[in-house]
Amino acid sequence: MSLGVSAIGQGLLYGLLGVGLFLTFRILDFPDMTVEGTFPFGAAVAVAAITHGVHPVVATLLAMLAGMLAGLTTGLLSTKGHIPVLLAGILVMTGLFSINLRVMGRANLSLLNQRNLFDNPFLKSLPVYADSVVVGAVVCTVVVALLIAFLNTQLGQGFIAAGDNPTMARSLGINPAHQQVLGLTIGNGLIGLSGGLIAQNNGYADVNMGIGVIVIGLAAIIIGEVVFGQLSLSQRLVATVLGSVLYRFVLLIVLKLGFAPDDLKVISAVVLAVAIAVPQVESRLRIRRVLRNGVTNNG
């Protein structure tokens, strides 16, 4: 039971990562490699701030701000420096590795004997692992609600249009480059926030904790789409969070089957590959079935 609660809590906290990646991967239609540097950057900033006496709530907001700065840097390199967005993300991700070492002063930093966001008396009174469920549910609800409200504004509609058809958006007076910077800034802000929360929940930050997180974010998006089918844009944000929770349960089942924790990275890659392939296979089978029925009817 406790492992299931833990999976839900972790899924909700990582759901912010999925939502942040959704803005760039699905709406703006490009992969943002900054993610693997932004996630540990948010964790490093939050943990370092707490160890220097900063209130956990403020430290968490600083993690989000750090992520926004990373996304802004990638956006400016891409739009102003005319560097391809994939390469710009890789450059920022690489640079952040050294910055994270500077921020923490070492490869990993513990929160041992330090108060963090999960040390709230109310959260401490809850059953084991329920604290992460409560924090994750509250933060995800607020974030998703704010994003839905934003996407229904004139600026948000311009953001969607720029990702859907940059040429048409430009003809309507929307600057796609500005929307790209905006998307990278907001998306990486959420990823930094996720890193800060995960670090506090785990009790430490590590420079290598960002390795493979882009697969986790993509898995949340793809699983949410595969399981819940055709949805509106607002509903897809919720589905991404739920997809993240389902993904954690998949990993939990895999561990229950006897696989070692060291195998989780390759298993994550396999799960993502299967989730991406399933809709493609179903689509091809559907097309073949329609063609076959058409030939039969004509005959």
pLDDT tens per residue across span 234-256 = 899 999 999 999 999 988 888 88
Contact criterion met (CB below 8 Å) for 183 and 24: yes
Report if residue 28 sits inside a domain. yes
In a domain, 62, yes or no: yes
Residues recorded for the chain: 299
- CB-based contacts of 104, cutoff 8 Å, min separation 6: 44, 47, 48, 205, 207
CB 179 within 8 A of CB 169: yes
Please provide residue 205's backbone torsions phi and psi, each rounded to the nearest 5 degrees: -125, 145
Which DSSP string corresponds to 148-200?
A: HHHHTSHHHHHHHHHHH-HHHHHHTT--HHHHHHHHHHHHHHHHHHHHHHHHH
81-102 pLDDT, tens digit per residue, is 999 988 999 999 999 999 999 9
Containing 206, the helix (H) or strand (E) segment is: strand 204-206
CB atoms < 10 A from the CB of 139, how many?
20
Q: Which residues contact 86 (CB under 8 A, 6 or more apart)?
A: 30, 31, 33
pLDDT score for 36: 94
pLDDT band at residue 293, thresholds of 50, 70 and 90? low
- The whole-angstrom separation of Cα 254 and Cα 148 is 34
Buried b (16+ CB within 10 A) or exposed e, 249-268: ebbbebeeeeeeeeeeeeeb
> Across all residues in the chain, what is the average pLDDT?
89
295 domain residue, yes or no: no
Q: What is the pLDDT of residue 129?
A: 87
Per the domain annotation, does 274 fall within a domain? Answer: no
pLDDT confidence bin for 55, thresholds 50/70/90? very high
The mean pLDDT value for 60-79 works out to 96
Structure tokens at 112: 């041992």
Q: Residue 203: which of 8, 43, 52 has the closest Cα?
A: 43
Domain count, the chain: 1
User: Does residue 54 form part of some domain?
Assistant: yes
Q: What's the predicted TM-score (pTM) here? A: 0.91
pLDDT tens-digit profile of 142-175? Answer: 999 999 999 999 999 999 999 888 888 898 889 9
CATH number at residue 255: 1.10.3470
Indicate if the pLDDT at residue 260 is higher than 80: no
According to the model, what pLDDT value does residue 139 have?
A: 96
- Domain encompassing residue 211: 2-262
Answer whether residue 131 shows pLDDT above 70.
yes
294 assigned to some structural domain: no
CA atoms within 13 A on the CB side of 141: 6
Model pLDDT, residue 291: 58
Number of other CB atoms surrounding residue 134 within 10 Å:
16
Higher pLDDT, 276 or 253: 253
pLDDT band at 268 (very low <50, low <70, confident <90, very high): confident
Lowest mean pLDDT among 35-39, 170-174, 272-276: 272-276
- At how many degrees (to 10) do helices 85-104 and 56-79 cross? 150
- Percentage of the chain beyond pLDDT 70 is 93
pLDDT for the residue numbered 274? 81
| Structure confidence at residue 290 (pLDDT) | 60
Whether 255 maps to a domain, the answer reads yes
Rounded to an integer, the average pLDDT of 287-297 is: 60
Is 110 contained in some domain?
A: yes
